[in-house]
């Protein structure tokens, strides 16, 4: 297991957000968050990834101040804010369904935080204009949220939060309500904006692709705890646990007898599907390679690539992925039922359990 808890930008001072032993139970029973320690650096784009109910959103809400922790502390910029209400914390939130005020215009929505904090009118107008320009919504000032599309509302929510120049921006499943195409656009957009403003972004998602593509670091949540923190590559290439291996990417595990026979060690091992080469039975494995024989049980054609589900002779099943470089769907489907050898480099075998 290899994990790196230090921020990837050592030149920046650490500690925009610091969570110490954070726990939260609802109704005195359910432990939604069960002891979370985390340090997020200045200017980081940080993802909290996990399935629903894993506690990631609750942690975000505790950072924002909407929930009071049952135990532990929240520090923002080194200051303990655990007891402070949301309006006294220097963070802003982009809500999952945006939470725009329906009775206000876009201008009023974006300017709300400034108005509440009694920013002079002229300055307020200028900052609102700049914020709307940053999210490319010039000309929408007088409209109401109901007149905008989902993507536009998303941008308004972003502008409304950023216009206050918070130290940390919290995003709760910010792209969850958008369709796939728009989501990809917004991912790029969010990255651009984060680079522009240079503040810490903490965003919650259940989408591993989103977490991997956008963030500097990822924390993988499971059952109220953090399983692993690290850069996307670390989390993907070197999952610390079987859960991380399964949740980030496809679950591809070798266990028990299969592990002993194929890897030569006892334990639980993970191999990423795209690392696996499908060879002919008589094709020998390389010197640094591990190999396993098996029969193709299922072939899944997915356009750009094809997934082969192979039942191993040693027991268990592995998935291998191959780019469809020159084969069409009819060709790849022929492989069903054939005997194959799977081969991969030893370094791509990651121990995820004893």
Partner 1 sequence: MAPPPTAARPLRRAASVLHRRAGLRLALLLSAPMAWLVLAYLGSLAVLLLSAFWAVDDFTYDVERVWNTANFSTVLTEPVYRAIALRTLGIAVAVTVIDAVVAFPMAFYMARVARPRTRKLLVVAVLTPLWASYLVKAYAWRVIFSQGGVLDWLVGPLGLSSPGYGTTAVIVVLAYLWLPYMILPVYSGLENLPANLLDASADLGASAGRTFRSVVLPQVLPSVFAGSVFTFSLSLGDYVTVRIVGGKTQVLGTAIADNVTLNLPLAAALSCVPVVLIVGYLLAVRRTGALESL
Minimum distance between the CB of residue 40 and partner 1, rounded to whole angstroms? 18
Asked if 249 touches partner 1 (CB under 8 A), the answer is no
Q: Decide: is 66 part of the binding site for partner 1 (CB under 8 A).
A: yes
181 binding partner 1? (CB under 8 A):
no
Considering only 1, 79, 116, 257, the residue that binds partner 1 (CB under 8 A) is 116
User: CB of 143: closest distance to partner 1 in angstroms?
Assistant: 17
Q: What are phi and psi of 144, to 5 degrees?
A: -110, 155
For residue 241, give the 3-state DSSP assignment. coil
Interaction between residue 112 and partner 1 (CB under 8 A):
yes
Q: Is 316 in the site for partner 1 (CB under 8 A)?
A: no
Min dist. Cβ of residue 66 to partner 1 (A): 5
117 vs 280, which CB is nearer to partner 1? 117
Does the protein bind partner 1 through residue 64 (CB under 8 A)?
A: yes
Contacts of 33 (CB under 8 A, 6+ apart): 22, 23, 24, 55, 58, 59, 62, 69, 224
Of the pair 97, 179, the CB lying nearest partner 1 is at 97
Sheet of 317-323, strand order: 277-279, 339-345, 289-302, 305-312, 317-323
Token pair for 334: 């022929």
**Minimum gap (Å) between residue 33 Cβ and partner 1:** 18
41 in contact with partner 1 (CB under 8 A): no
Q: What is the CA radius of gyration of the chain?
A: 24
- The span from the CA of 354 to the CA of 351, in Å, is 8
Q: Is 349 in the site for partner 1 (CB under 8 A)?
A: no
User: Does the footprint of partner 1 cover residue 52 (CB under 8 A)?
Assistant: no
CB of 62 to partner 1, least distance (A): 13
Place of tokens 């792209």: 175
Q: Rounded to whole angstroms, how far apart are CA atoms 268 and 309?
A: 19
- Tell me the sheet residues that pair with 23: 34, 71
Long-range own/partner contacts, residues 260-263 (CB < 8 A, 24 or more apart): 261/292, 261/314, 262/290, 262/291, 262/292, 262/312, 262/314, 263/290, 263/349
Q: Rounded to 5 degrees, what are φ and ψ at 312?
A: -85, 150
Helix axes 150-162, 121-134, angle to 10 degrees: 130
Q: What span, in angstroms and rounded, lies between the C-alpha atoms of 192 and 125? A: 23
Applying CB under 8 A, among 68, 117, 142, 334 the residue interacting with partner 1 is: 117
Q: Is 160 in the site for partner 1 (CB under 8 A)?
A: yes
- Using DSSP's 3-state secondary structure scheme, residue 54 falls into coil
Q: Is 113 in the site for partner 1 (CB under 8 A)?
A: yes
Cβ proximity to partner 1, 178 vs 253, nearer residue = 178
Nearer to partner 1, 93 or 349 (CB): 93
Please report whether residue 65 would count as binding partner 1 according to CB under 8 A.
yes
| Nearest residue (CB) to partner 1, 96 versus 324 | 96
Supply the minimum distance, in Å, between the C-beta of residue 353 and partner 1. Answer: 39
Which of residues 86 and 315 has its CB atom nearest to partner 1 in the complex? 86
Length of the chain as a residue count: 354
How many residues touch partner 1 under the rule CB under 8 A: the total is 24
Query: End-to-end alpha-carbon separation of the chain, Å?
Result: 11
Print the binding letters for residues 75-104 with partner 1: x by CB under 8 A, - otherwise: ----------xxx---xxx-xxx-xxxxx-
Beta strand 45-49 with 200-205 is parallel
- Shortest distance, CB of residue 57 to partner 1, whole angstroms? 12
Q: Smallest distance from the beta carbon of 202 to partner 1, in angstroms?
A: 14
Quick one: tokens of 229?
């923190």
Residues lying near partner 1 in the complex (CB under 8 A): 64-66, 85-87, 91-93, 95-97, 99-103, 112-113, 116-117, 160-161, 164
């Amino acid at each position: 297991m290899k994990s790196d808890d230090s921020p990837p930008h050592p030149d920046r001072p650490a500690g925009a957000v610091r969570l110490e032993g954070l726990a939260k139970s609802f109704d005195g029973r359910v432990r939604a968050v069960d002891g979370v320690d985390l340090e997020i650096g200045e200017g980081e784009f940080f993802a909290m990834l996990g399935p629903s109910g894993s506690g990631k959103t609750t942690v975000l809400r505790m950072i924002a101040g909407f929930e009071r922790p049952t135990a532990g502390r929240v520090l923002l910029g080194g200051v303990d804010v655990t007891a402070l209400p949301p309006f006294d914390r220097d963070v802003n939130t982009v809500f999952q369904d945006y939470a725009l005020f329906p009775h206000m215009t876009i201008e009023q929505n974006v300017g709300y935080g400034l108005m509440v904090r009694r920013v002079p009118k002229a300055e307020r107008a200028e900052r609102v204009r700049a914020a709307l320009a940053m999210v490319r919504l010039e000309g929408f000032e007088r409209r109401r949220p109901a007149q905008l599309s989902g993507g536009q509302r998303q941008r308004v929510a972003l502008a409304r939060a950023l216009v206050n120049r918070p130290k940390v921006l919290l995003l709760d499943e910010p792209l969850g309500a958008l369709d796939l195409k728009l989501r990809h656009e917004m991912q790029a957009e969010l990255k651009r904006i984060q680079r522009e403003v240079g503040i810490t972004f903490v965003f919650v998602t259940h989408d591993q692709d989103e977490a991997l593509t956008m963030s500097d670091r990822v924390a993988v949540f499971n059952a109220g705890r953090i399983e692993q923190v690290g850069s996307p590559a670390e989390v993907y290439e070197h999952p610390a646990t079987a859960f991380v291996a399964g949740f980030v990417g496809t679950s591809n595990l070798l266990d028990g007898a299969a592990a002993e026979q194929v890897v030569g060690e006892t334990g639980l091992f993970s191999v990423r599907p795209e690392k696996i080469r499908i060879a002919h039975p008589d094709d020998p494995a390389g010197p640094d390679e591990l190999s396993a024989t098996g029969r193709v049980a299922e072939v899944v054609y997915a356009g750009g690539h094809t997934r082969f589900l192979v039942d191993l002779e040693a027991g268990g099943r592995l998935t291998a992925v191959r780019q469809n470089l020159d084969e069409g769907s009819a060709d790849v489907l022929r492989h069903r039922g054939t005997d194959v050898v799977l081969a991969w480099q030893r370094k791509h075998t990651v121990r995820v359990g004893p």
